[in-house]
Amino acid sequence: MNGDTIFALASGAGRAAVAVMRISGPATRGLLEALAERVPEPRRASLRRLRHPGTGEALDQALLLWFPGPASYTGEDSAEFHLHGGPAVVAGVAEALVAAGARPAEPGEFTRRAFLHGKLDLTAAEGIADLIEAETAAQRRQALRQAGGALARLYGSWAARLTALLARQEAFIEFEDEDLPAGLDDEVAAAAAVLRAEILAHLADGGRGERLREGLLVAILGAPNAGKSSLLNALVGREAAIVSARAGTTRDVVEARLDLAGIPVTLADTAGLREALDEIEAEGVRRARLRAGEADLRLLVFAADEPPDADTLALMGPGALVVVNKVDLPVAAGMPEGLHVSARSGAGLDALHLRLEAEAVSRASTMGEATLTRPRHRAALQDAVSWLGELEVAPVPELRAEALRAALRAIGRITGHIGVEAVLDLVFGEFCIGK
Ligand SMILES: Nc1nc2c(ncn2[C@@H]2O[C@H](COP(=O)(O)OP(=O)(O)OP(=O)(O)O)[C@@H](O)[C@H]2O)c(=O)[nH]1
Ligand SMILES: [K+]
Ligand SMILES: [Mg+2]
């Protein structure tokens, strides 16, 4: 597979001023010669006429960039064609590249090659994928940190410490009869316990990085006619959901996106909670309850002029925020504490917006240190932690070494480096046993 030379449109599909075609692989230089006759100077944009190598037909006047490996994104010989962005130009150049022996790239294949050539680790590759998907500024910052190697450095430093501990533990096993520093075995256990606590602290971030990556779900719940759809529309500033004076208007879950302090939030408007009148409404109520269960935050909406209903009161608790709507009308007795708003007059909506922003910020990371962003990272780190826990109770040095090796493998799975071989060098280097 790595012998192939691949190409793909790096810019978006469709008509545009410029389209960027990216090429990578051992035949890149040959392709440049086939289509453009002369290979440009490395890393200098050069204007060239491109021709089909079979028919000689002129295809475009384009800017070419030549990146000889290994100083390229993929680590291989690669090139970029900055074409005029018409669909026929792009199709013609793609055809010419195939005629000259290249093939279209698979999704993610350029970054996969970069990983295989040691240009980046798996977390940085994931960061690049997230950067392309980022919708908000905070998501962009997190993705850029990760693409820049913030997680790779953190996990790399943990792997290095585990490797050093494993080296000590191995030495203890191998050279048990020799003059080794006293208490070495205990030292290893103590250092492993410190590392375990650090990993646990990193895990105890409440899923902030994952939340920012995936976005928050806020469900709007309440009795029919409480004004849930009116609130959704007021918050997103457009008529996303149908509003009417008839109870039971909303049946399907209506979703709208909102950027709250850089955190992408999905607001889900739901069917009013009550004993449903027909099967369609019953399905709507079922979906509303389902969404309530999945939500990071539940907005419980009460109509100020109605006594609070039992169905909505039952949802109060952690992760719920009470909103009393229609405060342009007199407030009924027994209303729970909450934010007072009127979707109709606009009163209190700024305060609600600010409160939602604060709730989003408290649940997702917006800045600062490296945060894990994927369940994959979390699972592997939990694995490492449990192996380090095993180490503390392991009765013999061999089992301690095994636990360290397993913890190291777990961390290696996150970055894509395993590297247990490095241990042997360290054994003999660190202790100068000289056998
Ligand atoms: N006076 C007043 N009326 C409001 C306010 N907000 C909404 N309403 C009215 O209340 C009625 C119901 O509003 P909706 O937004 O459809 O209520 P809902 O909770 O989505 O209703 P269902 O989808 O049927 O559960 C409509 O007639 C709205 O115009 C408000 O702040 N004050
Ligand atoms: K309604
Ligand atoms: Mg509604």
Q: Exposure of 182 by Cβ count < 10 A (0-12 exposed, 13-18 middle, 19+ buried)?
A: exposed
Reported as a single tens digit per residue, the pLDDT across 14-43 is 889 999 999 999 999 999 999 999 999 999
Q: Does domain 150-207+375-431 have CATH number 1.10.150.120?
A: no
Rounded mean pLDDT, 75-92: 96
Would the CATH topology of 150-207+375-431 be identical to that of 216-363?
A: no
Is the pTM for the entire model greater than 0.90?
no
Atom of ligand 1 lying closest to residue 343 CA: 31
Segment 339-347 long-range contacts (CB within 8 Å, at least 24 positions apart): 340/304, 341/231, 343/227, 343/230, 343/231, 343/233, 343/234, 344/227, 344/230, 346/234
Stretch among 168-172, 177-181, 282-286 having the lowest mean pLDDT: 177-181
Reported as a single tens digit per residue, the pLDDT across 173-194 is 877 666 656 666 788 899 999 9
Domain boundaries, the chain: 6-113, 150-207+375-431, 216-363
Atom of ligand 1 lying closest to residue 342 CA: 31
Hunting for tokens 């369609």 — which residue is that? 280
What distance in angstroms lies between residue 261's CA and the mean position of ligand 3's atoms?
26
What distance in angstroms lies between residue 253's CA and the mean position of ligand 3's atoms?
9
CA distance 381 to 385: 6
Q: Residues annotated in the binding site for Mg(2+), as ranges?
A: 229, 250
In this structure, which residues have their CB less than 5 angstroms from ion ligand 2?
Answer: 225, 244, 249
What contacts 115, CB < 8 A, 6 or more positions away?
121, 122, 125, 416
Quick one: pLDDT band at residue 245, thresholds 50, 70, 90?
A: very high
What is the number of the ligand closest to the CA of 273? 1
Q: Check residues 170 and 419 and name the one with the higher pLDDT.
A: 170
Looking at this predicted complex, what is its ipTM? 0.99
Of 298, 302, 332, 303, the C-alpha closest to 315 is 298
CB within 6 Å of ligand 1 — which residues? 222, 224-230, 243-245, 247-250, 271-272, 325-326, 328-329, 342-344
The pLDDT of residue 275 is above 70: yes
The pLDDT of residue 1 is above 90: no
Reported as a single tens digit per residue, the pLDDT across 378-434 is 999 999 999 999 998 888 889 999 999 999 999 988 888 765 444 444 433 443 332
Q: Where are the alpha helices (DSSP H) in 100-227?
A: 109-116, 122-133, 137-147, 150-174, 184-203, 208-214
At the fourth CATH level, the homologous superfamily of domain 216-363 is P-loop containing nucleotide triphosphate hydrolases (3.40.50.300)
Residue from 220, 235, 236, 243 to probe ligand 1 pocket by mutation (most atoms less than 8 Å from CB): 243
For the chain, give the mean pLDDT: 90
Phi, psi angle pair for 60, to nearest 5°? -175, 160
Stretch among 101-115, 150-164, 329-343, 367-381 having the lowest mean pLDDT: 367-381
At the fourth CATH level, the homologous superfamily of domain 6-113 is Probable tRNA modification gtpase trme; domain 1 (3.30.1360.120)
Reported as a single tens digit per residue, the pLDDT across 205-227 is 888 898 898 899 999 999 999 99
